[in-house]
Amino acid sequence: MNKSEIQEQYRWDLSDLFTSDDEWEEAFKAVRENAEAFKGFKGRILESPERLYEAIKEHEKVSRMITNVLTYARLRKDENTKNATYQSMTARAEKLATEISEMGSFFTPEILSAAYETIKEMSLYPPLKMYEQFFEDLFRSKKHTLSEEMESVLAQVGELGDVPSNTYGMLLNADMTFEDAVDAKGDPHKLTNGSYIQLMMSADRTLRQDAFGKYYKVYEGHINTIATLLQSEVNKNIFFSKVRKHPSAREAALFQNNIPTSVPDQLIEAVNANLETFYKYMKLRKKVLGLDELHLYDIYRPIVTNVDFDIPYEEAKTMVTESLGLLGENYQKTIREAFEQRWIDVYETEGKRSGAYSWGTYDSKPYILLNHKDNIDSMFTLTHELGHSMHSYLTRENQPYVYGNYSIFLAEVASTTNEALLNDYLLKNIHDEDKKKYILNHYLEQFRGTIFRQTMFAEFERDIHDHVEKGGALTAEFLCDHYLNLNKKYFGPDVVIDDAIKYEWARIPHMYYNFYVYQYATGFSAAIALSNAILKEGEPAVKCYTEFLSSGSKDYPIDILRKAGADMETEAPVNNALALFTSAVEELEALL
């Protein structure tokens, strides 16, 4: 479907960024002019508290401008990745962002050239008081910050560092095409990155098997190219970690948010220690589906199969909005505004970026890209992305620009809390017993897809970085073999591990997100803890949760989450979530 065929109410409105491409062009020119003017602060930032404050504000101004320019271009490109105009605008904006970063590369080293005590004394100047956390975090990174000359070089290298992920994105979204999948009747079904999971949920096993084989056949045809891109991405991560004097790429990635390596390590250990429970769920799936062999193309098929559970988008909007009533009238009111003010680009169209995300700037709506299907999974995706957007909205409403974003470590908490509240709402308000079984199965699938699957990805990501750091190479053969073995370990004895799954790593864009994926699992665990508190305690927990959503980056993420009620430096949230999974498996088994 072409985007022009979609009703306006289902397309996002980017006008609060720029009303036209021409306006974007004017802003593009203005960014460079402001960046040139900012260079006038070089060598003068520490002249006085007043000058320091002025420099920070001008630095923020340029940052906001380039972020708006870059975000608009990327959002437009994601509407249709084949559109050459927006490909060009995005490339120009990324190049400009690198230039701006290089032009302002003196800013951080110049502040860090002073003693921390000097900066703390300057912070007694009232307008600078709000930057205390900013300065503390800045000086925490002092030993990893290089000279002005080296920072300038790294800024220039930054654009090259984006090549693997950008190339992968174009290959995945613009260049890959798939042969139609065929069902048991011989009828064709369009196979795309966006439709693949939908086909995997089909009741027609012939269709599932055909889609599975044809989908990964395409990835197999590109596997050496994608392996080379992933090798380059890992090399980039290792390069920057070494240059900045971190012990490893993983420690460099976690340092940014002050997360100890014990957090992802204990996640992987806890999940591996509880794989027997996951095996039990797979065994139940095999039994209920009545299969002699449970294959990986059977994994997405709901095991409660006699349920008609189509949910049109308008109905999904209503259910999602009502399910979030526990979070208060203001929260619900803003959710309605998200629909009315066109935060969301809803349906899959030709060339559109696959998947879903929430993205915007401090000055814009927190936009949402979807590829919506009229099913329960898409409804959960809708509330998931609204969780991200509400987190962004409340942060920007309550924090100044310097703290106007939240760390990646916190990013998946609000989204998954929304999902947990929707799950509870459906179980309480749907009285059809088969539909309740379906929802319970869906809840277990959230565990499978978030805690178990994302932890497997995290283990894979950790292992491939370790392999390269020890002198190994990421050949297609190594990547495929290691990924295949992880699947065998995680799925256990009751699942046939089809050989084609060894190519699945090649379809996961998060492998280019620099140790992002473990945070889906930790975020899910934290969200289970916070949503349970909201359901049991009511207003006191809602108040703590709203403060969490409004905190941005005014404190370290571990501390923000601890104040909200989930201490991720302990094993409790992950183990409690896994205990809940065990209980849910037993409950569904009893019902079936």
- Environment class of 275 (CB within 10 Å of its CB; exposed 0-12, middle 13-18, buried 19+): middle
Give the whole-angstrom CA distance, residue 502 versus residue 485. Answer: 9
Structure tokens at 124: 């007694």
Known active-site residue 322: no
CA-to-CA separations, 570 to 558, 565, 567, 574, in angstroms, rounded: 11, 12, 6, 9
Give the whole-angstrom CA distance, residue 311 versus residue 323. Answer: 15
Q: Could you say which of 79, 151, 233, 385 is catalytic? A: 385
What 3-state DSSP class applies to 348? coil
Phi, then psi, of 166 in degrees rounded to 5: -65, -40
N- to C-terminal Cα separation, the chain? 40
Phi, then psi, of 566 in degrees rounded to 5: -135, 110
Structure tokens at 504: 């699945």
Q: Are strands 344-345 and 367-369 parallel, antiparallel or unpaired?
A: parallel
Amino acid at 351: G
Strand partners, 344: 368
Structure tokens at 431: 């009285």
Query: HEC profile for 443-480?
Result: HHHHHHHHHHHHHHHHHHHHHHHHHHHCCCCCCHHHHH
CA 459 to centroid of chain Cα atoms: 17
Amino acid at 117: E
Residues tagged active-site: 385
